């Protein structure tokens, strides 16, 4: 009896052979990366490793000198507009308009996204991250943690297939960081959203992400679970790996 072989769906995000040069510096040197539906992946690396440049190429902000990025079957840069509809982006350092109420801010982005049910999307997003009580708050009344939560709600209102987060829990209190993690985990599980997150908080990364990709000197040097990556470098945890690669980069 022949076994039935089921073909896996293509990854939401695919990048192959990414190269980026800046004058005499080669920031990225042949990076390959894939993220599947519902998968939670961390892209880590010390300063100068090429992590930010790689992230910007994934977002279509920077065009690679070699290689390509594909999101939801749309290849950049030619299909950047189509790919952008599949992506949500949020960062802990991005400001919010101070003179708008949270609901007004989210409604504006719902209209820009072309949402068929903007009000419903707002209510579902606020409930997912347990910040319904902030709907009528002004931007200048929010703490840094609250602004981060609102930014993530904004980034997920249009049901993106890929969510990219840059330092989502930076400087957050533990209770707010937990709320971010729980909301994101629910989103990935319920909607099949693929997650790519960068952070310098190794503890938060281990709690949120099931797969770790480390970049050093513009190349992927490890890709696996947190335990596998730590063992690969003979370290106890991800922080040990990070410090090891940072020290190597300074030599």
Percent of the chain clearing pLDDT 90 (strictly above): 67
pLDDT digits 0-9 by tens, 216-228: 999 999 999 999 9
pLDDT at position 236, please? 92
pLDDT at position 250, please? 67
pLDDT classification of 200: cutoffs 50, 70, 90: confident
Residue 112 confidence (pLDDT) above 90: no
pLDDT at position 185, please? 93
Nearest one of 173, 174, 153, 175 to 163, comparing CA atoms: 153
What are the structural domains of the chain? Answer: 13-250 (3.40.50.300)
The least confident of 2-6, 101-105, 115-119, 200-204 is 2-6
Specify burial of residue 189 (Cβ count, 10 A radius: 0-12, 13-18, 19+): exposed
pLDDT at position 14, please? 96
pLDDT at position 5, please? 53
Q: Check residue 89 and give left, alpha or beta (phi > 0: left; psi -120 to 50: alpha).
A: beta
Percent of the chain clearing pLDDT 70 (strictly above): 96
State the average pLDDT over residues 116-136.
Answer: 93
pLDDT classification of 210: cutoffs 50, 70, 90: very high
CA angle 82, 87, 90 (to 5 degrees): 145
Residue 10 confidence (pLDDT) above 90: no
pLDDT digits 0-9 by tens, 162-198: 999 998 887 678 888 888 899 999 999 999 999 999 9
For 110-161, give the secondary structure using H, E and C: HHHHCCCCHHHHHHHHHHHCCCHHHCCCEHHHCCHHHHHHHHHHHHHCCCCC
pLDDT classification of 209: cutoffs 50, 70, 90: very high
Any residues with CB less than 8 A from the CB of 119 and at least 6 apart, and which?
107, 110
- CA 130, distance to chain mean position in Å, is 20
pLDDT classification of 3: cutoffs 50, 70, 90: low
The separation between the first and the last C-alpha atoms of the chain, rounded to the nearest angstrom, is 58
**For the chain, what is the mean pLDDT?**
90
For 11-69, give the secondary structure using H, E and C: CCEEEEEEEEEECCEEEEEEEEEEECCCCEEEEECCCCCCHHHHHHHHCCCCCCCEEEE
pLDDT at position 198, please? 92
Residue 2 confidence (pLDDT) above 60: no
φ, ψ of residue 48 to 5 degrees: the values are 85, 5
CA angle 73, 82, 85 (to 5 degrees): 100
pLDDT classification of 115: cutoffs 50, 70, 90: confident
pLDDT at position 6, please? 54
Give helix then strand counts, H and E, for the chain: 9, 10
Residue 88 confidence (pLDDT) above 70: yes
Cis peptide before 77 (omega within 30 of 0): yes
pLDDT at position 150, please? 94
């Amino acid at each position: 009896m022949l076994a039935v072989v089921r073909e896996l769906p293509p990854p939401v995000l695919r990048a192959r052979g990414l190269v980026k040069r800046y004058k005499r510096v080669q920031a990225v040197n042949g990076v390959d990366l894939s993220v599947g539906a519902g998968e939670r992946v961390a892209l880590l690396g010390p300063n100068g490793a090429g992590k930010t440049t790689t992230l910007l190429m994934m977002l279509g902000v920077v065009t690679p000198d070699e290689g390509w990025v594909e999101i939801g079957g749309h290849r950049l840069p030619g299909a950047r507009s189509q790919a952008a509809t599949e992506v949500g982006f949020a960062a802990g350092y991005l400001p919010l308009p101070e003179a708008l109420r949270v609901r007004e801010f989210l409604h504006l982005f719902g209209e820009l996204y072309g949402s068929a049910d903007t009000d419903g999307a707002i209510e579902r997003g606020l409930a997912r991250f347990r910040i319904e009580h902030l709907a009528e708050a002004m931007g200048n009344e929010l703490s840094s943690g609250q602004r981060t939560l609102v930014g993530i709600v904004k980034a997920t209102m249009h049901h993106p297939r890929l969510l990219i987060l840059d330092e989502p829990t930076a400087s957050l209190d533990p209770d707010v960081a937990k709320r971010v993690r729980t909301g994101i985990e629910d989103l990935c599980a319920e909607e099949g959203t693929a997650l790519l997150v960068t952070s310098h908080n190794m503890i938060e990364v281990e709690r949120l992400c099931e797969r770790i990709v480390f970049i050093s000197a513009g190349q992927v040097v490890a890709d696996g679970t947190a335990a596998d990556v730590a063992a690969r470098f003979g370290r106890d945890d991800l922080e040990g790996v990070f410090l090891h690669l940072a020290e190597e980069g300074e030599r």
